[in-house]
Chain A
Amino acid sequence: MSPVTIPEVEHAYPGSTGCPGCGANLVMRYLLKGLGERTILTIPACCWAVMPGYWPSHCLKVPMVYCAFEATGASLSGMRAALDMKGVEDVTVVGFAGDGGTVDIGLQALSGAAERETDALYVMYDNEAYMNTGIQRSGATPWGAWTATTPVGPSRDYKREPKKDIMSIMEAHGIPYAATVSVAHPEDFVKKAKKAKDVRGFKFIHALSPCPPGWKMNPMKTVEVARLAVDTNVFPLYEIENGRVRITKKGKGLPIKDYLSIQRRFGHLTEEEVKRMQESVDSSFKALEQREAREG
């Protein structure tokens, strides 16, 4: 039996201009393995907008359209409407945006698309900052992190606000399917992409997307750090289907310092500060488990 556990077909070409070890490349690779070739993407300003390279180069075997930074939600509704007018039903419309383009500048367009119940999938690849413009903090940057605009320094000016909870925001729109996915667990990822494709209505996928330069880590650690995010419960893998939560892959419950210590963006944190993060992760994960038990 072949040990290959995800579809072998590739919808991405080599030669993209992402950094070595870019997690966002893996997010797209697994997403398209799940969705298949009848897919069309709209992508705003973000690292993925530059991934295809200079004209006339394109790094995917499916079409992608560029939209304005704040407009992914509007763009995907327009694309769905155009395909409907043309009578094309078998194409999955995907909005694919970064965390800044999702939780900050694109939030109102995203909210509009969810409220309109557009039959489309929105994927947020979350590298936890505005990477393409040089690692500025976003609403998705976690508490405690160094970025270019939270530069630590002598006044220890790291990010002091918690990460925006985009999954709860999307759930509050009453959408039929939302899920978190990890590049360290492609089987779970592909399964969720396939599921999202078959659900009618507005679907949301939140992918943690390690970024070696932005997270200040060795590029060879991209998959390892994503695995540790799951195993320390920093980024639990779950799905919310018609309002019911299910944890799809249990982590090992490792201490959060295992996740933090391989990323220099957290290198300035004191033991006391790491403890504070641990408590916050513990309480969020406990709430998730309790909710799953209630609804299961």
Chain B
Amino acid sequence: MSRSYEDIPLTPISDTPSTMNMTGLWRVFRPVVDLDKCKKCTLCWKFCPDAAIVLVDGKPKIDLRYCKGCGICANECLAECIIMVKEEAE
């Protein structure tokens, strides 16, 4: 008997953007940008593993709802305008 793909039982599908996960809550250190020192090189944006940085007129805007505080942006910024500060316990 030949069977069609329509006979395969339905499978759960994930279709909701992961922006539902507030991964910023994991953060231990928070990146703080001194925008006056920023050279608009965009390196921080390029190397953020979580796509948590958007560029606004060439300068970074970090979405703290999702930034996990890895510190890559601070480590890669040649102008040294990003520092990591410890989150305060609530």
Binding site for B on A (CB under 8 A): 2-6, 8, 10, 12-23, 25-26, 29, 52-53, 55-59, 183, 186, 212, 218-224
Distance between Cα atoms of A4 and B23 in the complex (Å): 26
Q: How large is the interface on B (under 10, 10 to 19, 20 to 34, 35 or more residues)?
A: 35 or more
A6 nearest in chain B by CB position:
B46
Known: A15-B22, A16-B50. A220 touches B72 (CB 8 A): yes
Partner of B20, one of A5, A8, A25, A57: A57
Partner of A219, one of B15, B52, B71: B71
A2: chain B residues within 8 A (beta carbon): 58
Report yes or no: B71 in contact with A3, Cβ–Cβ below 8 A: no
Dominant secondary structure at the A interface: loop
Distance between Cα atoms of A14 and B37 in the complex (Å): 26
Distance between Cα atoms of A271 and B16 in the complex (Å): 51
Binding site for A on B (CB under 8 A): 12-23, 26-27, 40-42, 45-47, 49-52, 55, 58, 63, 65-66, 68-72, 74-76, 84
Report yes or no: B51 in contact with A29, Cβ–Cβ below 8 A: yes
Distance between Cα atoms of A25 and B49 in the complex (Å): 5
Distance between Cα atoms of A10 and B17 in the complex (Å): 13
B23 nearest in chain A by CB position:
A15
Report yes or no: B72 in contact with A186, Cβ–Cβ below 8 A: no
Report yes or no: A52 in contact with B14, Cβ–Cβ below 8 A: yes
Report yes or no: B18 in contact with A58, Cβ–Cβ below 8 A: yes
B68: chain A residues within 8 A (beta carbon): 19-21
5 nearest A-B residue pairs (beta carbon): A220-B71, A14-B66, A21-B70, A15-B18, A20-B68
Known: A220-B74, A222-B72. A25 touches B50 (CB 8 A): yes
Distance between Cα atoms of A10 and B69 in the complex (Å): 20
